[in-house]
Every structure is written in C-alpha cells, then in structure tokens.
Amino acid sequence: MIEGALATIAVGTCAFDGGLPAAACGPTGAIGAKDLVPGATVINLPGCPMNVQNLTATIVHFLTFGEWPAVDTLGRPLFAYGQLIHDQCERRAHYESGRFVLDWGDEGHREGYCLYKMGCKGPETYANCPTARFNDGTSWPVKVGHGCVGCTMPRFWDQMSPFYRRLPTAPGVASDVTADQIGLTLVGAVAGLAVAHSVARHVRGKRQRQGPTDEVATADGAEGIQA
C-alpha cells in the first residue's frame, strides 16, 4: 500500500523510526515506515505525540501548493522541524543571562528560568513546540516547567535519555558518553549536517558560559545541579 501511495505521512515517533518499541533492549525489531519501504515517499512527523497542527498543515500544504512541503534529510517538514526548540524558547533570555532552574519548585522555577540544568533537550531538538504549542495552542511542556525530552529526534528514547541529565558539553567529548552513543551521534550527524552544525554551535556557546563549579558530578554519573 505504501509503495503505491502518492506519499505516506508517518505520524508520530513510532512511525518515524520505530519509537519506543525500537528502544534498546526492545525484543520486537520495530522499525519506522521509511525503513520498512525504502522506496516510498514518506513525510515524517515525529513527536510523542506529534502535534496535530503539523499534520493538518502538511496536508493543506499539498492541497494548496500541489506539492509536499520541503523536508530535511530525515524527511521532516522544515516549516515544523526546521528550527531548534532552544532558538524559539520563551525561556531563552534566561539562558543567555545564566539564570537556571536548579531544583523543582525553586524560585527560578516559578520565575520561568531556563531548564537546561534540569536536563532539557531543547538545545538539540528540532521542533516547533514553543510556537505551535499543543491542544489548540494552549501550552507546551517547557512553558509548564518540565524540560524537553527531545521526542522529535532520531532514537530519542536512547539518545536523549537519561532525560534529567544535562546535555554533555560536546558530543563524544564528555567522559560519561559511551562509544555507542558517540557512534550513534555521528550517524545522526551524517544524516543531518544541519543538526551537527547547530549542536556544535550551541555546545560552544554553553561551554563558554559554564564555570568550573557547574561540572560537579553526582554518584550516578549525572552532572550536578549546583551552580
């Protein structure tokens, strides 16, 4: 059916790359639609859940312009997945000023400070959650107070977890990143040069801003939350 279709819209992260059943130690061999039928035209709308506005807009784009929207190398429409969450985030000014949430419910949490130190994956995640928002534009997780988990990115269940660990200072450089993770990061980077470029850019930005006391490690290998 997929082969004969004008295009297939893969809705959600499971249709994109196998999603949760494809996470490490999953016994099922789940894969995404594009991997199942490599020759098919597949528009990927990852996210868990996908934002329904992006599905409507993808179809309306076809009806309006007579062609599918422009996509990145992972088949994701640029109008929805063309910009980092971090670059659209309403908490971004706090990041620039070095104001971070350090504990759930602290003053910074109430004042809307940046969630980067609580593990937010917005600096490495491409999606329009901050602007499109969910449920008729009502809200999105970072607005409420929880970090992004990176659910629109390839293999995010493994690549973005542990979800509360602060992003490493540079891919493949941090001491607690395993060889496997470096390998997969590189695969991701090859798949999308724009991703790699942008990650590097933001990682550089972070490194310049972090003082040495930022790097206190706790017993589980996670980076500390003391500033």
- Does 205 sit near another protein (CB under 8 A)? no
Binding mask 100-119 for another protein (x = CB under 8 A): ---xxx---xxxx-----x-
CA separation for the pair 18, 137 (Å, rounded): 27
Name the percent of the chain in helix, strand, coil, to the closest 5.
Answer: 40, 10, 50
CB of 123 within 8 A of CB of 86? yes
- Indicate the SS3 state at residue 32: coil
CA-atom Rg of the chain in angstroms: 18
- Does 48 sit near another protein (CB under 8 A)? yes
Shortest gap between Cβ of 140 and another protein (angstroms)?
5
- Does 136 sit near another protein (CB under 8 A)? yes
Q: How many residues bind another protein (CB under 8 A)?
A: 45
Binding mask 145-164 for another protein (x = CB under 8 A): xxx-x-------x---xxxx
- Does 81 sit near another protein (CB under 8 A)? no
Which range, of 78-86, 97-105, 183-191, 201-209, touches another protein by CB under 8 A?
A: 97-105
Peptide bond into 162 cis (omega under 30): yes
Which range, of 36-44, 128-136, 181-189, 196-204, touches another protein by CB under 8 A?
A: 128-136
Buried b (16+ CB within 10 A) or exposed e, 108-133: bbeebbbbbbbbbbbbbbbbbbbebe
Q: Residues 64, 138, 178, 208: which binds another protein (CB under 8 A)?
A: 138
Q: Residue 79: CA atoms inside 13 Å, Cβ hemisphere, count? A: 15
Residues that bind another protein (CB under 8 A): 19-21, 23-30, 48-49, 103-105, 109-112, 118, 133-136, 138-147, 149, 157, 161-164, 218-220, 222
